[in-house]
Amino acid sequence: MQVSYYPGCALHGTAREYDESTRAVSQMLGVKLLDLPDWNCCGASSAHVTDESLALNLASRNLNIAREQGMDVVIPCAACYSRFKSAEKEDSGNHREKAAKQDIRVLSLLEFLTDSELMNKIKNLKKRPLAGLKVVCYYGCLLVRPPRVTGAKNFENPDEMDWLMKLLGAEPVPWSYKTDCCGGSLVLTRTDIVRRLAQKILDKAMEAGAEAIVAACPLCQSNLDTRQEEISRETKKKYDLPVIYFTELVGLAMGHRDAGKWIKKHFVSPMKLLTSKGLA
């Protein structure tokens, strides 16, 4: 199986472990990821709030490259995925003949890997069940919303990642904050708001009894992972909750030799938790 792959800027920098685990898991599943040639930043961080035309054109350029490749395009970053879907919807609204003739699917990485065929492969390749690991699945606000753009049916209570965690042997704990915003777009301009939003998500995850948060977005993971020390200083409350990419847990459950290397890159180390469960 071959698909086009748009890594986006974050996976080449602060979220390298997300990119590495994605590529490793895909290889184990027999999926060949073909990077979009000459891809550009989708503008998710700033363009969409400064220039609507620029924001759409940046994403549309990437989308047209994917159409030229003639394969479905898979996108790990929720923010990048949102921009691609917005560009796709804009093309559809304009009834562009080129778009209609070269129709492809724009898929989030989570959406792609939870396809029934690949889920069966993951089940068959599972070597180390994540037994005893209690997690909350955090989708963030852009992976499924707004539904008029993403087309998601369960946009208030998505469950694909929850089912994947169950398949891996972990225990996904129910909670009501799986699609709350972490303040990703305000990370450089209003860190006070980001800390407040991140603290709320961390608090609710711990109240639910989770031992870790599973994420599917580099912006969300970074906010929740890197802010815990400063939130602890500000609130005088100890925060030490690992925030792990879902692909890292898939790789861990399938016994990939580099799983430990990915996980050690996080600010809040999951190693103590995983060791206590006999998983590291």
Residue 100 has pLDDT above 80, yes or no: no
Q: Which of 112, 146, 171 lies at the terminal end of a domain, its last residue?
A: 112
> Alpha-carbon distance 175 to 162, whole Å?
11
pLDDT at 95 over 60: no
Choosing from 112, 140, 156, the residue where a domain stops is 112
* Cα–Cα nearest to 187, from 220, 230, 154: 220
Domain span at 89: 2-112
Please state, in angstroms and rounded to a whole number, the distance separating the CA atoms of residues 85 and 63: 9
188 and 223 together in one domain? yes
Domain with residue 11: its CATH number is 1.20.1050.140
Q: Which two tokens stand for residue 94?
A: 């304009």
Q: How confident is the model at residue 99 (pLDDT cuts 50, 70, 90)?
A: very low
Q: How confident is the model at residue 103 (pLDDT cuts 50, 70, 90)?
A: confident
* pTM of the complete model: 0.94
Q: How confident is the model over 137-142, as a mean pLDDT?
A: 96
Percent of the chain exceeding pLDDT 90 equals 86
137: left (phi over 0), alpha (psi -120 to 50) or beta: beta
Q: How many residues are recorded in the chain?
A: 280
**Per-residue pLDDT at 190:** 87
- For 213, other C-beta atoms within 10 Å of its C-beta total 25
Q: Is the pLDDT of residue 255 over 70?
A: yes
Is 117 contained in some domain? Answer: no
pLDDT (mean) for 23-47: 92
Q: Give residue-wise pLDDT tens across range 193-223.
A: 999 999 999 999 999 999 999 999 999 999 9
Averaged pLDDT of the chain: 93
Confidence bin at 97 (pLDDT 50/70/90): very low
pLDDT over threshold 90, residue 237: yes
- Phi, psi (degrees; rounded to nearest 5) at 179: -120, 15
Domain end: 86, 112, 138, which one? 112
